[in-house]
Structure 1
């Protein structure tokens, strides 16, 4: 196909998805699932017009998925407005760390015992397939800063933080694969650098950058009376937080998430200190971006209000970040669909079902025993752990850092197949389950 033909096909697909968005939101199939199907149709299993291999192009895949994840994590952090001491954060921590470790451990054992993978590659498999994906979790995560639904907040915070536990284990697998012996000195060095510094440095530096740049941008906009769109602030903050922290050897993904949190804390601080007196009681609980109309910016020209300035800053960041996230995620779902024919593996289906039905629900059940969560919510959290772009990034990371060979090819096939199964199974069940839950909550409220 020529460039013009591909351009027309891309435009047609995006137009179809846009026009059908209302039906998609009400139906069982998600937009990500439809992009996956489009990729499968373009690949060797159907029309055979597109040939892309994630392994062959692992470096490009690594960079594209890095950008996608960083943008998604930043937006996730920016939407979380609940106080950090809220119990939903505690649930997210339980899911992102102890539940993650249990899941990685179980999947490592299964990959070694059932498939016969060597321990380092089995550990890499566990680290790749265990995390809830921050990009595709947007189907389940908080809708905006006003959303305080405990289930959505728990999933959002888990997706934002679980790279802090999964990526260090992938790095450990790479060290063992490349000949390092499992010793006390190795674990000490790995723990100090890849766990303590990676997590602590990423969170602290990212949060500080987000808060500092948020306050600075707000003061400059307020001083100049600037109401023009400023979408590049989000891109700048994502790029700076991720690249700086990666350069310092800490977790860039956690930094992007923390940068979003930091910008949101800046918004909260400005809102509390400079809250306009003419706000109604209902408006006093709204985030700042809900108090400004981005389509009537000139109406706010010359309005010397810090709250409206931070509202424009945060609103522009959310709008631009959401667009970047959805565009890149759609592209990666098409790529995943195209490459599936080369990597389909029945062990991936089997281990995926075990992960979805047994391992993840059991891990969530164990770590939430004393969390005070309703039974139904614990069961839903146990099921709604979708895999996606993050797993693709980890696969590409392993290939670009020296993990290769016949067993690595088998592991890659298993992981990619498992991700596709997750996109299909979780994607088709998320809307019915959340709609059912919403009806139950509304019924309970009517009884009260």
Structure 2
């Protein structure tokens, strides 16, 4: 019998197998895996054959769960690639992007929702807040390519995506709380004078998530290294360990009522940092079959966690890109206001916010320009919108909840396609700019050396 259950198995199996088979095709310009998977979702969804459909109101629990898992995995993978200490000054730019830039973007997008869509300010703020997180996993050419990649642009975008999936949460809760107050319902408590939102939702949950995650990554890593000095890991241990660390960190962070997204990212960064802090007990080469040397063991642990997390990230990327395609109904795609709004978010709000808030950051002109352009929307938006619907937004905003979903999904789809088409040529241009700068710097060094020799 051909039903949704059977179709999901067929579609997922076909797409998963195609990831390996069509890998050479995805290395060509103008084509990316998320684009193909989104188109696959379109082909089997309401815009194509109509075999499978998803709706916010009916499938909100499923969408929230799927996107939550995808965000967790992508954050862990991003954190494992950020090979720099937590106190490193290079964190300044990602932090600015995930705080000042994100806030400026939310303000601008709120204005667009109010002026273009005619939404009430709380509803416009909610739409802006769910669109606040960036998501380089859907255009992975702008991610840090490996832990030794020290490119400021890639590190800025990867770090921003890791942080703002958590820092956007208070804004979503603020919008939900304001909507509840407008209709005299307690959708989310803000407290008198917003004290609860400031103290709990902002200060405690952000700070608690970051601190707990950093401590958890360090403690879990040292426990694992301690055990591995005495017991060699068995078959399949790497994959099980990755899933276990992600689940344990996320669950414990939720248990202390902190932002678990931030905790997972911080834990991965902290775990990655063990290899830089571990004392080397011997200068002799360490046999590949032993884990007696702390530095070597920490390095191996970080490398295996990065490799497994990267694989998991590609799988969840596939699922979510297909889901986005399935959510594009004819009515949603045919809404011209949604497309106008998406253009304002991607082409106006993000670039303006980046240029207004990063002028003091250590970014060159090409790096700032590409940072302004690659404000990619994706998995985080799906989660936050699903979470808001789960809190009762559909009932609280009966006249505008559909418009909110339309604009959010159209913006994600536009971002996947637009950034996917431009990422390869723009990053190629960026590589040439970097090469030209390196050549110019080398010539200047040679010139200075020659002048010194003459003197």
Cα displacement (A) at 1:303: 5.5
SS in 1 for 2:181: coil
Question: For 1:100-134, what per-residue CA distance to the aligned partner results, in whole angstroms no more than 9, with x for missing partners?
Answer: 11110111111112211122211100101122125
1:291-370 residue pairs with structure 2 within 5 A? Answer: 300-302=288-290, 304-341=292-329, 343-344=332-333, 345-370=335-360
Checking the alignment, whether the CA contact within 8 Å between 2:139 and 2:416 is kept in structure 1 is no
Match of 1:285 in 2: none
Inter-partner Cα distance in structure 1 for 2:432 and 2:280: 38
Of the three residues 260, 270, 283, the one matched with 1:277 is 283
Checking the alignment, whether the CA contact within 8 Å between 1:164 and 1:198 is kept in structure 2 is no
Cα displacement (A) at 1:165: 2.9
Q: 1:6 to 1:132 in 2, by over 3 A?
A: closer
Inter-partner Cα distance in structure 2 for 1:199 and 1:376: 32
Cα displacement (A) at 1:184: 7.9
Checking the alignment, whether the CA contact within 8 Å between 1:69 and 1:135 is kept in structure 2 is no
1:406 aligns to 2:396 (yes or no): no
Inter-partner Cα distance in structure 1 for 2:258 and 2:7: 43
Q: 1:241 to 1:186 in 2, by over 3 A?
A: farther
Checking the alignment, whether the CA contact within 8 Å between 1:134 and 1:390 is kept in structure 2 is no
1:392 aligns to 2:385 (yes or no): no
SS in 1 for 2:230: helix
Cα displacement (A) at 1:188: 1.6
1:204 aligns to 2:192 (yes or no): no
Aligned length: 428
Unpaired segments ≥5 residues, structure 1: 280-290, 292-298
Checking the alignment, whether the CA contact within 8 Å between 1:72 and 1:134 is kept in structure 2 is no
Cα displacement (A) at 1:74: 1.2
Inter-partner Cα distance in structure 2 for 1:339 and 1:373: 37
Inter-partner Cα distance in structure 2 for 1:128 and 1:30: 25
TM-score of the two chains, using structure 1 as the length reference: 0.90
Between 117-126 and 178-187, the greater mean CA deviation after superposition: 178-187
Q: 1:247 to 1:406 in 2, by over 3 A?
A: farther
1:44-443 residue pairs with structure 2 within 5 A? Answer: 44-133=46-135, 135-136=137-138, 138-179=140-181, 185-226=192-233, 228=235, 229-270=237-278, 273-274=279-280, 276-278=282-284, 300-302=288-290, 304-341=292-329, 343-344=332-333, 345-404=335-394, 405-443=398-436
Cα RMSD, aligned residues only? 2.2
Cα displacement (A) at 1:220: 0.6
Question: For 1:138-194, what per-residue CA distance to the aligned partner results, in whole angstroms no more than 9, with x for missing partners?
Answer: 431101211111000000111111134321011011111112689982422101011
Cα displacement (A) at 1:401: 0.7
TM-score of the two chains, using structure 2 as the length reference: 0.88
Checking the alignment, whether the CA contact within 8 Å between 1:267 and 1:314 is kept in structure 2 is yes
Match of 1:286 in 2: none
Between 311-320 and 34-43, the greater mean CA deviation after superposition: 311-320
Unpaired segments ≥5 residues, structure 2: 443-455
Inter-partner Cα distance in structure 2 for 1:10 and 1:131: 26
